Amino acid sequence: MRIGVVRFPGSCDEVDALDACAMVADAELLWHGRTDLDGVDAVVVPGGFSYGDYLRPGAIARFSPVMKAVADFAAEGGPVLGICNGFQVLCEAGLLPGALLTNSGLRFLCKQVDIIVERPGTPWTADCEAGERLSIPVKHMSGRWHADEATVAELEAEGRIVFRYAPGDNPNGSTSDVAGVCSAAGNVVGLMPHPEHAVDALTGSADGLKLFSSILNGGDRVGTAG
Amino acid sequence: MKVLVLIRPKQGILDPQGQTVERALPALGFEGVTDVRIGRLVELEVTDPSKLDELCEQLLANTLIEDFEIQIQED
């Protein structure tokens, strides 16, 4: 198992993501200018401020050469995880539903939050139980996930809301307390919290490691609900 | 030709910037201002306006959360 971590100009969490991946598998960085994924088995689109967040977070990065390769990989069922800015990039690219808006409180947030696993049956949540609580930090300015009512109802019905902030712990005003969602097939997952910053008890929590270890067990669970 | 693209948050989407500005106005003595919404203005110089809609939909605006309005300025 080899996991590729995309690096855009302005990424800043790709090294932590790489380290987290390296705890469970082989891992390598993929520069945004390349047009292939070097044959990796899974892709992480990490956090940061790709292209300076110009226009909207993720709006420019989605046109990076590597994103075409990521989209093709995702279409073939390849597992893709977008974290924070990576989530924004995947939403802008249309690989995940919804969009990320400025936090309702207009402040940059940096805090530990609890999230609930709503959908264990994805390649990135295979090691989690339904309803499991994970303590993972958020750090973002534009984390208010939004989709219209019809889309949210559809996502609920299809089990595509993967993570919710624990009751009372929604830091950014996201619709329906959504912290992360997945694609229709379940192989593309995105979330605002940073599991790669929660892989060692020394820094407060190792709960995030479950997302990365899941990839070793989750490949065959693509498309299965719950 | 010169083109202005106005990009606004869609109706019904919470605009905390607009709300904050609206709340600040009475403190400065500006009463009776409501429904403040804050968006973006993009100025462009284009030779062929036929692809402006496409350009706005693909990049300048995220139509899930924003509406855009194209204003072509006469030379």
At A219 the pLDDT is 53
Encode pLDDT of A19-43 as tens digits: 999 999 999 999 999 999 999 999 9
Is A147 within 8 Å of chain B by CB? yes
Residues in chain B closer than 8 A to A105 (CB atoms): 16
Give the 3-state secondary structure of residue B12: coil
Scored b (16 or more CB within 10 A) or e, A5-34 reads bbbbebbbbbebbbebbeebbebeebebee
pLDDT in the model for residue A97: 98
Residue B74 has what pLDDT?
Answer: 75
Predicted local distance difference test score (pLDDT) of residue A226: 37
* pLDDT tens column, B4-29: 999 999 999 999 999 999 999 999 99
Looking at 3.30.1330.180, 3.10.180.10, 3.40.50.880, 3.40.605.10, the CATH number of the domain A2-221 comes to: 3.40.50.880
Q: Chain B contact for A217, CB < 8 A?
A: no
What are the residue boundaries of the structural domains of chain A, listed by start?
A: 2-221
Indicate whether B34 pLDDT > 60. yes
**Which of A145, A184, A147, A151 shows the shortest CA–CA distance to A165?**
A145
Q: Is it the case that residue A216 has pLDDT exceeding 80?
A: yes
Q: Which of B13, B17, B59 sits opposite A106 (nearest CB)?
A: B17
Domains of chain B in sequence order: 2-73 (3.30.1280.10)
Looking at the complex, does the CB of residue A173 fall below 8 Å from at least one CB of chain B?
A: yes
Q: How confident is the model at residue A220 (pLDDT cuts 50, 70, 90)?
A: very low
Lowest mean pLDDT among A49-53, A220-224, B22-26, B50-54: A220-224
β-strands A109-117, A161-165 pairing: antiparallel
Contacts of A98 in chain B (CB under 8 A): 64
Q: What percentage of chain A reaches a pLDDT higher than 70?
A: 96
Q: What is the DSSP letter of A17?
A: H
CB B71 within 8 A of CB B3: yes
- Strand duo A99-101 + A80-83: pairing: unpaired
Q: Which residue of B has its CA nearest to A59?
A: B59
The rounded mean pLDDT for chain A is 95
Min Cα separation B16/chain A (Å): 6
In this complex, the residue of B16, B60, B64 whose CB is nearest that of residue A102 is: B16
Taking CB atoms and an 8 Å limit, are B62 and A147 in contact across chains?
no
Question: Is B63's Cβ below 8 Å from some Cβ in A?
Answer: no
> For residue A221, what pLDDT is reported?
45
Per-residue confidence (pLDDT) for residue A217, from 0 to 100: 83
Q: Phi and psi of A61, rounded to 5°?
A: -60, -30
What does the pLDDT look like over A137-181, one tens digit per residue? Answer: 999 999 999 999 999 999 999 999 999 999 999 999 999 999 999
CB–CB of A92 and B13 under 8 A? no
